Structure 1
Protein backbone atom coordinates (compact mmCIF):
# COMPACT_ATOMS: atom_id res chain seq x y z
CA UNK A 1 0.00 0.00 0.00
CA UNK A 2 2.80 2.42 0.89
CA UNK A 3 4.50 1.87 -2.44
CA UNK A 4 1.28 2.51 -4.37
CA UNK A 5 0.43 5.68 -2.44
CA UNK A 6 3.96 6.94 -2.90
CA UNK A 7 4.01 6.19 -6.63
CA UNK A 8 0.60 7.80 -7.12
CA UNK A 9 1.53 10.96 -5.24
CA UNK A 10 4.79 11.27 -7.17
CA UNK A 11 3.03 10.61 -10.48
CA UNK A 12 0.53 13.38 -9.66
CA UNK A 13 3.43 15.71 -8.91
CA UNK A 14 5.17 14.83 -12.19
CA UNK A 15 1.93 15.31 -14.12
CA UNK A 16 1.29 18.65 -12.43
CA UNK A 17 4.78 19.98 -13.10
CA UNK A 18 4.98 18.83 -16.72
CA UNK A 19 1.42 19.87 -17.62
CA UNK A 20 2.56 23.42 -18.40
CA UNK A 21 4.30 22.12 -21.54
CA UNK A 22 0.96 21.11 -23.06
CA UNK A 23 -0.45 24.64 -23.23
CA UNK A 24 0.25 27.40 -25.69
CA UNK A 25 2.27 30.28 -24.25
CA UNK A 26 0.36 33.30 -22.97
CA UNK A 27 0.36 36.46 -25.08
CA UNK A 28 3.35 38.69 -24.43
CA UNK A 29 3.08 42.49 -23.98
CA UNK A 30 4.19 43.25 -27.57
CA UNK A 31 2.05 40.51 -29.08
CA UNK A 32 -1.22 41.83 -30.52
CA UNK A 33 -2.73 38.55 -31.62
CA UNK A 34 -5.22 38.81 -28.80
CA UNK A 35 -6.61 41.92 -30.47
CA UNK A 36 -7.20 40.15 -33.74
CA UNK A 37 -8.50 36.99 -32.11
CA UNK A 38 -12.08 36.12 -31.35
CA UNK A 39 -11.95 36.38 -27.58
CA UNK A 40 -10.12 37.86 -24.65
CA UNK A 41 -6.61 36.70 -23.82
CA UNK A 42 -6.76 34.67 -20.65
CA UNK A 43 -5.04 31.56 -19.43
CA UNK A 44 -6.85 28.43 -20.44
CA UNK A 45 -8.39 26.10 -17.90
CA UNK A 46 -6.96 22.76 -16.87
CA UNK A 47 -7.73 20.11 -19.46
CA UNK A 48 -8.14 16.80 -17.72
CA UNK A 49 -7.15 14.61 -20.68
CA UNK A 50 -3.49 15.61 -21.05
CA UNK A 51 -3.04 15.86 -17.27
CA UNK A 52 -4.38 12.34 -16.74
CA UNK A 53 -2.29 11.01 -19.63
CA UNK A 54 0.87 12.49 -18.10
CA UNK A 55 -0.02 11.21 -14.63
CA UNK A 56 -0.84 7.73 -15.92
CA UNK A 57 2.38 7.50 -17.92
CA UNK A 58 4.37 8.64 -14.89
CA UNK A 59 2.57 6.13 -12.65
CA UNK A 60 3.29 3.23 -15.03
CA UNK A 61 6.95 4.21 -15.09
CA UNK A 62 7.22 4.88 -11.35
CA UNK A 63 5.62 1.70 -10.00
CA UNK A 64 8.26 -0.76 -11.23
CA UNK A 65 11.09 1.67 -10.49
CA UNK A 66 9.85 2.21 -6.92
CA UNK A 67 9.35 -1.51 -6.33
CA UNK A 68 12.85 -2.29 -7.59
CA UNK A 69 14.40 0.49 -5.48
CA UNK A 70 12.55 -0.64 -2.34
CA UNK A 71 13.64 -4.22 -2.92
CA UNK A 72 17.29 -3.21 -3.35
CA UNK A 73 17.22 -1.08 -0.21
CA UNK A 74 15.50 -3.86 1.75
CA UNK A 75 18.24 -6.31 0.79
CA UNK A 76 21.00 -3.89 1.71
CA UNK A 77 19.32 -2.04 4.58
CA UNK A 78 21.72 -3.43 7.17
CA UNK A 79 24.72 -1.98 5.36
CA UNK A 80 23.15 1.18 3.96
CA UNK A 81 21.14 2.47 6.89
CA UNK A 82 22.63 3.08 10.35
CA UNK A 83 21.09 1.33 13.34
CA UNK A 84 19.30 3.26 16.03
CA UNK A 85 18.29 6.17 13.83
CA UNK A 86 14.55 6.63 13.58
CA UNK A 87 14.78 8.91 10.52
CA UNK A 88 17.27 6.88 8.47
CA UNK A 89 14.67 4.73 6.71
CA UNK A 90 12.23 7.58 5.87
CA UNK A 91 15.12 9.73 4.62
CA UNK A 92 16.37 6.90 2.40
CA UNK A 93 12.83 6.32 1.15
CA UNK A 94 12.39 10.03 0.38
CA UNK A 95 15.71 10.21 -1.47
CA UNK A 96 15.11 7.10 -3.56
CA UNK A 97 11.51 7.92 -4.43
CA UNK A 98 12.40 11.51 -5.35
CA UNK A 99 15.25 10.31 -7.57
CA UNK A 100 12.89 7.88 -9.31
CA UNK A 101 10.32 10.63 -9.88
CA UNK A 102 13.02 12.95 -11.24
CA UNK A 103 14.11 10.22 -13.66
CA UNK A 104 10.53 9.86 -14.88
CA UNK A 105 10.19 13.62 -15.37
CA UNK A 106 12.10 13.75 -18.68
CA UNK A 107 9.94 11.16 -20.48
CA UNK A 108 6.85 12.90 -19.09
CA UNK A 109 8.13 16.27 -20.36
CA UNK A 110 8.69 14.71 -23.80
CA UNK A 111 5.13 13.38 -23.75
CA UNK A 112 3.81 16.76 -22.63
CA UNK A 113 5.60 18.55 -25.44
CA UNK A 114 3.92 16.21 -27.92
CA UNK A 115 0.53 17.43 -26.62
CA UNK A 116 1.50 21.09 -27.10
CA UNK A 117 -0.20 22.98 -29.94
CA UNK A 118 2.97 25.02 -30.67
CA UNK A 119 6.66 24.22 -30.82
CA UNK A 120 8.19 25.23 -27.52
CA UNK A 121 11.65 24.87 -26.08
CA UNK A 122 13.47 21.58 -26.42
CA UNK A 123 12.68 18.76 -24.04
CA UNK A 124 16.13 18.92 -22.47
CA UNK A 125 15.98 22.62 -21.65
CA UNK A 126 12.38 22.51 -20.45
CA UNK A 127 12.87 19.22 -18.61
CA UNK A 128 15.98 20.34 -16.72
CA UNK A 129 14.05 22.88 -14.69
CA UNK A 130 11.20 20.41 -14.23
CA UNK A 131 13.56 17.74 -12.89
CA UNK A 132 14.70 20.02 -10.08
CA UNK A 133 11.14 21.04 -9.27
CA UNK A 134 9.99 17.41 -9.16
CA UNK A 135 13.01 16.44 -7.08
CA UNK A 136 12.27 19.09 -4.43
CA UNK A 137 8.53 18.41 -4.38
CA UNK A 138 8.80 14.63 -4.29
CA UNK A 139 11.51 14.64 -1.63
CA UNK A 140 9.17 16.50 0.72
CA UNK A 141 6.21 14.28 -0.16
CA UNK A 142 8.33 11.12 0.18
CA UNK A 143 9.58 12.19 3.61
CA UNK A 144 6.04 12.95 4.73
CA UNK A 145 4.80 9.57 3.50
CA UNK A 146 7.80 7.76 4.94
CA UNK A 147 7.19 9.23 8.38
CA UNK A 148 3.41 8.83 8.45
CA UNK A 149 2.86 5.53 6.61
CA UNK A 150 6.23 3.86 7.03
CA UNK A 151 8.64 2.67 4.39
CA UNK A 152 7.87 -0.23 2.05
CA UNK A 153 10.66 -2.51 3.24
CA UNK A 154 9.63 -2.36 6.92
CA UNK A 155 5.82 -2.34 6.69
CA UNK A 156 4.32 -5.47 8.21
CA UNK A 157 7.21 -6.37 10.46
CA UNK A 158 6.13 -6.67 14.09
CA UNK A 159 9.26 -4.97 15.45
CA UNK A 160 8.74 -1.84 13.33
CA UNK A 161 7.42 1.15 15.25
CA UNK A 162 4.53 3.03 13.70
CA UNK A 163 2.78 6.26 14.47
CA UNK A 164 -0.19 5.88 16.77
CA UNK A 165 -3.22 7.71 15.57
Structure 2
Protein backbone atom coordinates (compact mmCIF):
# COMPACT_ATOMS: atom_id res chain seq x y z
CA UNK A 1 0.00 0.00 0.00
CA UNK A 2 2.83 2.28 0.51
CA UNK A 3 3.67 2.12 -3.15
CA UNK A 4 0.09 2.93 -4.03
CA UNK A 5 0.11 5.90 -1.67
CA UNK A 6 3.44 7.11 -3.06
CA UNK A 7 2.11 6.68 -6.60
CA UNK A 8 -1.09 8.44 -5.62
CA UNK A 9 0.96 11.30 -4.11
CA UNK A 10 3.03 11.51 -7.28
CA UNK A 11 -0.11 11.68 -9.41
CA UNK A 12 -1.57 14.44 -7.20
CA UNK A 13 1.70 16.39 -7.36
CA UNK A 14 1.83 15.94 -11.14
CA UNK A 15 -1.77 17.13 -11.43
CA UNK A 16 -0.91 20.17 -9.30
CA UNK A 17 2.10 20.92 -11.52
CA UNK A 18 -0.11 20.57 -14.62
CA UNK A 19 -2.67 22.94 -13.05
CA UNK A 20 0.09 25.46 -12.24
CA UNK A 21 1.45 25.13 -15.78
CA UNK A 22 -2.07 25.64 -17.20
CA UNK A 23 -2.48 28.76 -15.05
CA UNK A 24 0.91 30.02 -16.19
CA UNK A 25 -0.11 29.34 -19.80
CA UNK A 26 -3.36 31.31 -19.31
CA UNK A 27 -1.42 34.16 -17.74
CA UNK A 28 1.03 34.13 -20.67
CA UNK A 29 -1.85 34.12 -23.19
CA UNK A 30 -3.43 37.08 -21.39
CA UNK A 31 -0.08 38.90 -21.37
CA UNK A 32 0.23 38.30 -25.12
CA UNK A 33 -3.30 39.67 -25.63
CA UNK A 34 -2.47 42.73 -23.52
CA UNK A 35 0.73 43.17 -25.54
CA UNK A 36 -1.22 42.97 -28.80
CA UNK A 37 -3.69 45.53 -27.52
CA UNK A 38 -0.81 47.79 -26.49
CA UNK A 39 0.68 47.45 -29.97
CA UNK A 40 -2.71 48.23 -31.53
CA UNK A 41 -3.10 51.28 -29.29
CA UNK A 42 0.41 52.42 -30.19
CA UNK A 43 -0.37 51.97 -33.90
CA UNK A 44 -3.54 54.04 -33.51
CA UNK A 45 -1.58 56.76 -31.71
CA UNK A 46 1.03 56.78 -34.48
CA UNK A 47 -1.72 57.02 -37.10
CA UNK A 48 -3.41 59.86 -35.18
CA UNK A 49 -0.11 61.69 -34.83
CA UNK A 50 0.54 61.25 -38.55
CA UNK A 51 -2.96 62.50 -39.38
CA UNK A 52 -2.50 65.42 -37.01
CA UNK A 53 0.79 66.24 -38.67
CA UNK A 54 -0.85 66.11 -42.11
CA UNK A 55 -3.76 68.25 -40.92
CA UNK A 56 -1.40 70.77 -39.33
CA UNK A 57 0.69 70.89 -42.51
CA UNK A 58 -2.47 71.53 -44.57
CA UNK A 59 -3.56 74.27 -42.15
CA UNK A 60 -0.13 75.87 -42.38
CA UNK A 61 -0.25 75.73 -46.19
CA UNK A 62 -3.74 77.27 -46.22
CA UNK A 63 -2.65 80.01 -43.82
CA UNK A 64 0.41 80.68 -45.97
CA UNK A 65 -1.79 80.89 -49.08
CA UNK A 66 -4.22 83.30 -47.34
CA UNK A 67 -1.28 85.44 -46.23
CA UNK A 68 0.08 85.52 -49.79
CA UNK A 69 -3.32 86.59 -51.18
CA UNK A 70 -3.63 89.25 -48.48
CA UNK A 71 -0.16 90.61 -49.30
CA UNK A 72 -1.05 90.72 -53.00
CA UNK A 73 -4.31 92.53 -52.25
CA UNK A 74 -2.59 95.04 -49.98
CA UNK A 75 0.09 95.73 -52.60
CA UNK A 76 -2.58 96.07 -55.28
CA UNK A 77 -4.59 98.46 -53.08
CA UNK A 78 -1.48 100.49 -52.33
CA UNK A 79 -0.63 100.72 -56.02
CA UNK A 80 -4.16 101.87 -56.81
CA UNK A 81 -4.10 104.42 -54.02
CA UNK A 82 -0.72 105.75 -55.12
CA UNK A 83 -2.08 106.22 -58.65
CA UNK A 84 -5.21 107.87 -57.32
CA UNK A 85 -3.14 110.11 -55.01
CA UNK A 86 -0.90 111.21 -57.90
CA UNK A 87 -4.00 111.95 -60.00
CA UNK A 88 -5.56 113.98 -57.19
CA UNK A 89 -2.29 115.87 -56.66
CA UNK A 90 -2.21 116.75 -60.36
CA UNK A 91 -5.82 117.94 -60.23
CA UNK A 92 -5.03 119.95 -57.11
CA UNK A 93 -2.07 121.59 -58.86
CA UNK A 94 -4.36 122.49 -61.75
CA UNK A 95 -6.96 123.94 -59.41
CA UNK A 96 -4.31 125.91 -57.54
CA UNK A 97 -3.19 127.29 -60.88
CA UNK A 98 -6.80 128.28 -61.65
CA UNK A 99 -7.06 129.95 -58.25
CA UNK A 100 -3.84 131.89 -58.80
CA UNK A 101 -4.98 132.91 -62.26
CA UNK A 102 -8.37 133.97 -60.92
CA UNK A 103 -6.69 135.96 -58.14
CA UNK A 104 -4.43 137.77 -60.57
CA UNK A 105 -7.31 138.38 -62.98
CA UNK A 106 -9.51 139.49 -60.10
CA UNK A 107 -6.82 141.88 -58.87
CA UNK A 108 -6.63 143.44 -62.33
CA UNK A 109 -10.42 143.70 -62.53
CA UNK A 110 -10.63 145.06 -59.01
CA UNK A 111 -8.38 147.91 -59.97
CA UNK A 112 -10.54 148.68 -63.01
CA UNK A 113 -14.06 148.13 -61.57
CA UNK A 114 -15.89 149.19 -58.43
CA UNK A 115 -16.02 146.69 -55.50
CA UNK A 116 -19.55 145.41 -56.12
CA UNK A 117 -19.11 144.81 -59.83
CA UNK A 118 -16.63 142.05 -60.56
CA UNK A 119 -18.47 140.16 -63.23
CA UNK A 120 -19.04 137.18 -60.91
CA UNK A 121 -21.76 136.82 -58.37
CA UNK A 122 -20.99 134.86 -55.24
CA UNK A 123 -23.52 132.16 -54.48
CA UNK A 124 -22.16 131.04 -51.15
CA UNK A 125 -18.92 129.80 -49.68
CA UNK A 126 -18.64 126.83 -52.07
CA UNK A 127 -19.14 128.67 -55.33
CA UNK A 128 -16.72 129.06 -58.22
CA UNK A 129 -13.12 127.88 -58.16
CA UNK A 130 -12.89 127.92 -54.37
CA UNK A 131 -15.85 125.57 -54.16
CA UNK A 132 -14.30 123.16 -56.67
CA UNK A 133 -11.02 123.20 -54.76
CA UNK A 134 -12.85 122.39 -51.53
CA UNK A 135 -14.84 119.60 -53.16
CA UNK A 136 -11.72 118.03 -54.69
CA UNK A 137 -9.82 118.38 -51.42
CA UNK A 138 -12.66 116.79 -49.46
CA UNK A 139 -12.93 113.94 -51.95
CA UNK A 140 -9.18 113.44 -51.77
CA UNK A 141 -9.21 113.35 -47.95
CA UNK A 142 -12.18 110.96 -47.96
CA UNK A 143 -10.24 108.68 -50.29
CA UNK A 144 -7.20 108.72 -48.01
CA UNK A 145 -9.15 107.56 -45.00
CA UNK A 146 -11.46 105.15 -46.80
CA UNK A 147 -10.88 101.41 -46.61
Which TM-score tier does this pair reach, normalised by the shorter chain? Answer: under 0.3
TM-score (norm 1): 0.24
Q: What is the TM-score of this pair, normalised by structure 2?
A: 0.26
Greater fraction of residues in helix: 2
Bigger relative contact order (CA 8 A; separation at least 6): 1
